A and B are shown apart, each in its own frame.
Chain A
Amino acid sequence: MFRYISRRIIMMIPVLLGVVFVIFTILYFSPGDPARTILGVTATEQEVQMLSEELGLNDPYGVQLFRYLKDLLRGDMGRSYKNNKSVSAEILQRFPTTLLLATLSILFAAVIAIVAGIISAIKQYSVFDNIVTGFSLLGISIPNFWLGLMLIILVSLHWRLLPASGFYGPRYWILPLITNGVGYMAGIMRITRSSMLEVIRQDYIRTARAKGQREIVVILKHALRNAIIPIITLIGLQFGRALGGAVLIETVFAIPGLGKYLVDSISAKDIPVIQGGVLFLAFLFGVVNLCVDILYGFFDPRISSQYRRKKEKAVKMHAKQAN
């Protein structure tokens, strides 16, 4: 297992280097001059030249790429063109907020969605099932910035129950996590329902019931455990995406997360920030995928036994060679 994890982490290095190379090249050759964008419409040629010189933008492509890679290997992601703040410090400062929002939203969504999805599957075509299916259709279709604004108007403005913006404490978390969670919830509900429906028709469920197992055990142990792989896959993907920041949610609720920071850097052509951000996200996505793969093994003994069998084989081979 340890060897598997370390190999997966080492595999990420060439991927990340590829990401750096591709992003840098695309940005370098895309139209627009970062110095001019920062200085604005009224800037003179002299000002643009001075700033380009200061930021090292006059150097040729190869020199700039090499310099970036060299700094990166020393762990330095550079400083933002726009506000001269250290990119890595800025990302690390914003990441906890994004992580908190992502974790809360996914937890909120997953708990409700899995329960609702299970009930909806075992009571297929019931009123409850129709409500759940209807809700998930609605949840997927509603644009979340709109939902966010509506919640603010209703809950903060008319009812005066919760603050409208900011991210300073539990009271402030509620609206963003609901807004963010609804979209995720809809997806998880649908996949839980369909995956459960598939499983509860299997013979081994009938066997479990036939041997007199209590219904709750049948559902949670025999059925859910077999239905969980696609659910975990989806939640993993959603979580990976959520860690990139929820731009619209952050904008509407004024949350200082990663999403808005990265999107702003793209419109400002702030190359060090875009680079650092994308690199960080690629790394996170890799880690989340790895965690999901490990979870597979945890929930499905067939997968983990594959590793074990491989390992046993390797040990045997080794023993043979030693002989």
Chain B
Amino acid sequence: MKRKLGLLFVVLAVVLSFSVLALAKQDTLIVAVDREPSSMNPHGSNDAGTSFVTNLMYEGLVTFDSDMNLVPELATRWEQIDDTTIRFYLRDNVYFHNGEHFTAKDVKYTFELTSKSPFTASTLGMIDAEATTIIDDYTVDIVLKYPFGPAINHLGHSTAAIVNQKAMEEGGENYDDNPVGTGPFVLKKWNSGDSIELTTSDNYWGEKPAYKTLVLRYIPEATTRAIEVETGGVDIARAISANDAINLGDNPNVNVISSNILNTSYLSYNCSKPPFDNVKVRQAISSAINADAVVRNVTFGLGERANSVMAPSIFGYVPSEEPYGYNVERAKSLLAEAGYADGFKTTLVVNAVNASTSAEIIQNMLAQIGIEVEILAYDFNNWLDTIVNGRQDMYIGGWTTVTGDADYALRNSFHTNNKGTGGNRSYYSNPEVDALLEQAAVEMNQGIRAELYKKVQEVLAEEAVYVNLQIGQVHLAAGKHVKGLVAHPNQNIDLWTVYFE
């Protein structure tokens, strides 16, 4: 017995001394992430998993701060020369990870590449790469194919990150093994399916991170990510579930940061198809749905209900007055006015992964006014294929406005030309809205643009084109020792500002 106790003591001592050593000098930050990148090239993919990683290695001319304001990054300032030319003045003290000096040439080269990438056509397609002119090493005129109001916003998106010609050409097909940017971190190794190891860049022009190594561990299960923060296996966990966010809130060793992102979800229709081409039917459905209750239920009370089809941090956002808020009596009379006093049968297409619960609640609410809804819960592929091709009656969808500007949200989702494949899955068509959106896209005065978008949102609300559900939300969990953690609405985290205490 004594010997056993002695052994136990020795084991405990060894374990403790290891943990003390580990605590004494933390120079590694471990982050649990929920998805893997598809590429190490910022123009090689447009998904959130990729931009999370490329954001750590690359920089753009401009970027967004955590309130979605545009701030300088590789450019120190910029000016609008005319409707289609923006002049950027670049930093002269920036070096790529491979030692190459960053100049205007890299900017032109980058936009020549993006003009050929399928992942950047919608964000950077307006740039005329050939006409873009290098004035001197640190001045470049970016030329647009047509006047475009939100151009600078689009340049803040992660796919507009600047790459180096030499590195791209040397890397070729194996570029992902050795990606080169100007940002604070350099890729050390990508262990596919498991982790990504990064180290701090010696060439970084900004303030260097407080630690040396950054490990992004891919942990697909949300509960495991949350538990790993509690056990100290990781320092930060991205995207934990609402349920775990509530549980971890009680743990004194863990901080939970919940923040709204640039995404909203909504219920909408195929507005070109009866009965949903009838505005009264849409207004009736809007009135019959207690959206606050739906949101409260599916987000465990943590979520916020959207009051526009855009999230609040997006330029041009105006909260709608809700002309058709929850009111069952009005819903019934509107439906009768539309000629469906006895209701009707219809279907609701949802992505099974994220909207099944909302759909069931909505199904019950609509049953109260006689609308019998059959839920079609599909996988992502099938759901997208259905709504892109207009085979839906009703659907629950979502939109992430990656550029932080109303043009990307509203023109894609509601302009007649973008029906179906372009992004207008509500198959909505209204010449007045089209005209307003076109005018706002080419307008340079941001004040006037904001007014135009306000008008668009009012029309859409009056026409009850959609029922707003929740604003997208991401919950981060971090150990108490992690400081300086700032979550961005675009779901990136500036991990280089993190330090330990």
Contacts and interface: CB of A to CB of B under 8 A. Distances in A.
A39 B423 CA distance: 12
Interface in A249-287: 250-254, 256-257, 260-261, 267, 269
B423 A44 contact: yes
Contact of B385 (A32, A50, A254): A32
Contact of B191 (A37, A153, A251, A256): A256
Contacts of A43: 46, 122, 423
B217 A166 contact: yes
Contact of A47 (B121, B192, B380): B121
A160 B382 contact: no
B227 A32 contact: no
B381 A37 contact: yes
Interface in A187-203: none
Given A90-B192, A256-B193, A41 B398 contact: yes
Interface residues of A, number: 50
Q: Do most interface residues of chain A lie in helix, strand or loop, or is the interface mixed?
A: helix
A267 B380 contact: yes
Contacts of B219: 165, 254
A157 B230 contact: yes
Nearest to B228: A164
B122 A47 contact: yes
A16 B176 CA distance: 32
A160 B386 CA distance: 48
| Interface SS, B side | mixed
Interface stretch (A79-87, A103-111, A177-185, A309-317): A79-87
A297 interface: no
A32 B382 contact: yes
A260 B418 CA distance: 36
Nearest to B351: A41
A31 interface: yes
A46 interface: yes
A114 interface: no
A256 B194 CA distance: 5
B422 interface: yes
Of A47, A51, A257, A260, chain B has the most CB atoms within 10 Å of the CB of A47
B363 interface: no
Interface string B113-146: 0000111011001000000000000000000000
Interface of A: 31-33, 35-51, 54, 82-85, 90, 93-94, 149, 152-153, 156-157, 160, 163-167, 250-254, 256-257, 260-261, 267, 269
21 contacts: A31-B385, A31-B386, A33-B385, A37-B384, A40-B46, A42-B399, A42-B402, A43-B423, A44-B121, A47-B119, A48-B421, A49-B118, A83-B38, A84-B39, A152-B224, A160-B231, A163-B233, A164-B224, A164-B227, A254-B221, A269-B381
Given A40-B46, A46-B122, A252-B224, 4 more contacts: A32-B382, A47-B121, A50-B117, A50-B121
Interface of B: 36-39, 44-47, 117-119, 121-122, 125, 176, 191-194, 217-221, 223-224, 227-228, 230-231, 233, 379-382, 384-386, 388, 397-400, 402, 408, 412, 418, 421-423
